[in-house]
Structure 1
Amino acid sequence: MFPTKPLQRSSDGIVHQVMSMMVQNRSFDAQLASSTISNPWTTDSVSDILRSVPKFFFQSLRSIGRQKGFRHRAPLKQRNLKQEKFKISHNVLLLGPAAYRDPERVALGLDKAMEFYLWVEKFFGFSHNEKTCKEMAFVLAKGNNLKGLWDFLKEMSRIDNGSLVTTSSITCLIKVLGEEGLVNEALACFYRMKQYHCKPDVFAYNMIIRALCRVGNFNKARFLLEQMELPGFRCPPDVYTYTILISSYCKFSMQTGCRKAIRRRLYEANHLFREMLFKGFVPDVVTYNCLIDGCCKTNRIERALELFEDMNKRNCVPNRITYNSFIRYYCAVNEIDKGIEMMRRMQRMNHGVATNSSYTPIIHALCEAERVLEAKGFLFELIRGGSIPREYTYKLVCDALNSVGAANLIDDEMDKRIRDGIGSRCRQVMKVKHITSHIRTTRMVEEV
């Protein structure tokens, strides 16, 4: 039996102690409640604990500690939870977000999160509000417990006249389900809003359209857009609605591998852009960046330059992302001087600060074109700007200099500065894994 320690007052201390209890599978009961010196529970502390559950229980040990945040790139197709469960039970190769999850650990996290949620309410009289209810719903969604999620939302919508389940919390839940690859479930959540006494607003429509576009379900997304465009509709579309669809059409155009599909989707993106202009919407820099990047990646540079000029006419200031799209295109088609001119224009007009994303395509293109000295000059310019090149970029320049017998152009001091910067960045990325891995190792040692 593990000794019981009184819970600390500091927020971080409470989170660490409660998560340790959950990992050790300790019960949240009256004995634990009586050992607490005072009532330490606030909305922020309960929310922080619930927010930490996915980090400790649902994340693979391969991903823990690899990045500052724990948001992952959403899968590009709808997940089939029944199929995933079947593959796990029959030891079949499983790919996707659930590939390295431990089902027993996920189930433990779900049970302990709900047990803690009810424990603070029963033994401390804590009144849950919209924030804590939303975090608990996020835990159920990220743990893929959909039946529990629907029952929880239905139960919470009956309490306090439905103040715990609001339109904003359902909108955030739709976003989480979309990021988990559960787009059909996100759509079901969207249509259940009336059941939870909520009315969808433009933000809810934008989130479900974004989730549908992520998995390539453009027909349903366009249906919702057309529904929003009906005369007198309560939630008319905004600039962000059109930007989501334009960005998705441009991103998915290159993933099809079919020229006809690429032309069709770019046509749809440009058609939506003209439609939003006709309806009086003013596109922002994000809308322009999506279209310009899509045109550059599909070798439609004339249309991209036309959009770039249109930005200036509408007093929409381009940023570094805008210029980087042109830089990547010109370097890919071996028009390096135009790419350099585009970067100099960005610096001259003070439209952004050139970083690794701006210099790297130019340096790589110069090395491939055997303009080694110019590549070395841009490498030094990047370092003087306060950035450290990527390891592959630096190795490419060093190999190019060695091939022309000019390896001595990079002195020892500069070489040490670059290698120390690359090593520091690698250590930061490969930082120590979370305490969960340490606990698992300790348990294995104790069992042995």
Structure 2
Amino acid sequence: MLPAKTQVYHHLHHHRSPVVKQVLAVLLRDGPFDAATFSASFQWSTQPVSDILRSIPTFFFTPTRSIGRQPNHNRHRAPLKQRDLRQESVKLQNCSLVLGPVAHRDPTRVNHGVLKSTQFFYWVESHGGFTHNEMTVREMAIVLAKANKLYELWNFLREMSRRGDGGLITTMSITCLIKCLGEEGLVNEAMQAFYRMKQFHCKPDVYAYNTVILALCRVGFFVKAKSLLQQMELPGFRCPPDTYTYTIFISSYCKYALQTGCRKAIRRRLWEANHCFRLMLFKGFVPDIVTYNSLIDGCCKTNRIERALVLLEDMIKRGCLPNRVTYDSFIRYYSVVNEIDKAIEMLRRMQGMNHGTPTTSSYTPIIHALCEVGRATEAWEFLVLLVNGGLIPREYTYKLVLDALNCNGNSNLLDEGIRRKIEDGILGRYRQRMKAKPFMNRKGYVLVIEDQ
């Protein structure tokens, strides 16, 4: 597929094992698996086989544009929705753009990756003398799930469940599979995997319930998620809910409310989040920092600052100390509504009570708000504090402060050392981002050219 011998593929350098690099190069070049390709004395183990299977989605399934270029491949710009694979197949046949997790994904590369990973999975067992275990079977199942090959996935799981004593398919494996399908937007398929646990002689635990509830809440299927919660709350049920179960609902209600853009829906979802929080306290569960931060952030973003302040005092009374994320929610709110002095007070309170170390996300809203109201001198002072703390502001923030100083005639306040430090940091960040971007050849494969 790629005959040039001087082509070595990007991201291979982070694998320490030479055999892993060698196998991935064979996979990308569509080379054959034979004994002459690899060292005869090498003994295959779980770690290199898992590393190879785990790298397949990175090289073959990652889109060459848009979302696939982001460092976190599970991050989606638009709210995640339940996908229809048949409709996506029709769109691909009509050369229409498919949005969502598979935007700009090349079906040819995906099929090639599935084919080569399947060949390697069975080759390493038949010719490499390796016996697959629960970990390698799990990684192969995740490869099929990320490729959206559901028919092949269920056949593979049935085949592995018949081997030996059936220990290759465990509750942990199905739970990881549910998480992967949920991240891909295949929530109904994740529910199928959850209900098929009994078929593979696996008993769901509280982590499996939490995983499928999180997948349902991410796409707004709150009715199905609440039915599972009611099942967990039955007296004597073997998997009672925990703090994380209620935190999932609270966080999802707040996030989904903001995504709707409807005032009535926002009020309804925020009411449900607060109701879930009170129900959690009534049942004797102790909220953690994630629970409080999710609810406080939702209240701040929907202008319910009084409720957010009550939650802040309540978490301190319960011995749950707030952190930087907690204060950042208040800082963003006060900066947006032009109550800048209260935002600065929250920043000082965080530093004075040693509840966290301010970062760029803490200083940036204050700096932007100060520039908007013409307090350019104070904005420059906060920018200097940010730089003295070892942080580099965004290029937009830096230019905004420079423009505000020039408009007010205070350009003489600019310190040459601070300016050079900021500009060098911004330039270094840009170079690092450009260096991290892979170079794509005509077939879309990631490669770097090196001398022999």
Quick one: distance in 1 between partners of 2:68 and 2:392? 22
Moved more, 422-431 or 237-246: 422-431
Contact 2:438 2:446 in 1 (8 A): no
Question: Deviation string for 1:335-381 (max 9, x for gaps)?
Answer: 11001000100001111000000000000000011111000000000
The answer to whether structure 1 residue 284 and structure 2 residue 288 are counterparts is yes
Q: Which consecutive unaligned segments of at least 5 residues does structure 2 have? A: 6-14
Which one of the candidate residues 310, 317, 322 is aligned to 1:306?
310
| 2:42 aligned partner | 39
Quick one: distance in 2 between partners of 1:267 and 1:172? 32
Alpha-carbon spacing, 1:441–1:323, altered in 2? closer, same or farther (3 Å): closer
Contact 1:66 1:431 in 2 (8 A): no
The answer to whether structure 1 residue 48 and structure 2 residue 70 are counterparts is no
Look up the equivalent residue of 1:25 and give its one-letter code: D
Quick one: distance in 2 between partners of 1:114 and 1:375? 57
Which one of the candidate residues 415, 426, 430 is aligned to 1:422?
426
Quick one: distance in 2 between partners of 1:148 and 1:48? 21
Alpha-carbon spacing, 1:402–1:436, altered in 2? closer, same or farther (3 Å): closer
Query: How far off its partner does 1:82 sit?
Result: 1.2
What secondary structure is seen at the aligned counterpart in 2 of 1:233?
coil
Alpha-carbon spacing, 1:16–1:71, altered in 2? closer, same or farther (3 Å): farther
Look up the equivalent residue of 2:41 and give its one-letter code: S
Contact 2:59 2:445 in 1 (8 A): no
The answer to whether structure 1 residue 147 and structure 2 residue 151 are counterparts is yes
Query: How far off its partner does 1:47 sit?
Result: 0.3
Contact 1:67 1:429 in 2 (8 A): no
Look up the equivalent residue of 1:250 and give its one-letter code: C
| 1:89 aligned partner | 93
The answer to whether structure 1 residue 105 and structure 2 residue 116 are counterparts is no
| 1:188 aligned partner | 192
Look up the equivalent residue of 1:310 and give its one-letter code: D
Quick one: distance in 1 between partners of 2:176 and 2:315? 32
The answer to whether structure 1 residue 294 and structure 2 residue 298 are counterparts is yes
Contact 2:439 2:446 in 1 (8 A): no
TM-score of the two chains, using structure 2 as the length reference: 0.92
Contact 1:66 1:429 in 2 (8 A): no
| 2:328 aligned partner | 324
Query: How far off its partner does 1:222 sit?
Result: 0.6
What secondary structure is seen at the aligned counterpart in 2 of 1:82?
helix
Question: Deviation string for 1:271-311 (max 9, x for gaps)?
Answer: 11011101100000100001100000110111100000000
Instruction: Trace 1:152-231 onto structure 2 (pairs within 5 A).
Output: 152-231=156-235
| Identical aligned residues as a percent | 63
TM-score of the two chains, using structure 1 as the length reference: 0.93
Quick one: distance in 2 between partners of 1:303 and 1:163? 50
Alpha-carbon spacing, 1:432–1:293, altered in 2? closer, same or farther (3 Å): closer
The answer to whether structure 1 residue 235 and structure 2 residue 239 are counterparts is yes
Quick one: distance in 1 between partners of 2:280 and 2:446? 59
The answer to whether structure 1 residue 62 and structure 2 residue 65 are counterparts is yes
What secondary structure is seen at the aligned counterpart in 2 of 1:162?
coil
What secondary structure is seen at the aligned counterpart in 1 of 2:143?
helix
The answer to whether structure 1 residue 380 and structure 2 residue 417 are counterparts is no
What secondary structure is seen at the aligned counterpart in 1 of 2:260?
coil
- Comparing both chains, which one has the higher relative contact order based on Cα–Cα distances under 8 Å and sequence gaps of 6 or more? 2
Quick one: distance in 1 between partners of 2:323 and 2:222? 29
Query: How far off its partner does 1:412 sit?
Result: 2.5
Look up the equivalent residue of 1:37 and give its one-letter code: A
| 2:366 aligned partner | 362
Look up the equivalent residue of 1:51 and give its one-letter code: R
Q: Which consecutive unaligned segments of at least 5 residues does structure 1 have? A: 5-9
Look up the equivalent residue of 2:50 and give its one-letter code: S
| 1:27 aligned partner | 32
Look up the equivalent residue of 2:97 and give its one-letter code: L
Which one of the candidate residues 130, 134, 140 is aligned to 2:134?
130
Which one of the candidate residues 114, 132, 140 is aligned to 2:118?
114
Moved more, 87-96 or 311-320: 87-96
Quick one: distance in 2 between partners of 1:79 and 1:32? 44
Alpha-carbon spacing, 1:92–1:64, altered in 2? closer, same or farther (3 Å): closer
The answer to whether structure 1 residue 18 and structure 2 residue 27 are counterparts is no
| 1:7 aligned partner | none
| 2:414 aligned partner | 410
Look up the equivalent residue of 1:254 and give its one-letter code: L
Alpha-carbon spacing, 1:279–1:432, altered in 2? closer, same or farther (3 Å): closer
| 1:80 aligned partner | 84
Moved more, 95-104 or 221-230: 95-104
Query: How far off its partner does 1:256 sit?
Result: 1.3
Alpha-carbon spacing, 1:199–1:104, altered in 2? closer, same or farther (3 Å): same
The answer to whether structure 1 residue 353 and structure 2 residue 369 are counterparts is no
Quick one: distance in 2 between partners of 1:184 and 1:360? 40
Alpha-carbon spacing, 1:126–1:344, altered in 2? closer, same or farther (3 Å): same
Contact 2:64 2:444 in 1 (8 A): no
Quick one: distance in 2 between partners of 1:439 and 1:80? 27
The answer to whether structure 1 residue 245 and structure 2 residue 274 are counterparts is no
Aligned length: 437
Quick one: distance in 1 between partners of 2:354 and 2:260? 37
Question: Deviation string for 1:184-233 (max 9, x for gaps)?
Answer: 11111001000111010000000000000000011100110011001111
Query: How far off its partner does 1:42 sit?
Result: 1.1
| 2:10 aligned partner | none
Contact 1:57 1:106 in 2 (8 A): yes
Alpha-carbon spacing, 1:120–1:328, altered in 2? closer, same or farther (3 Å): same
Question: Deviation string for 1:82-140 (max 9, x for gaps)?
Answer: 11111111111222222211111100000000100000000122011111111101100
- CA RMSD, 1 decimal: 2.2
Quick one: distance in 1 between partners of 2:441 and 2:243? 45
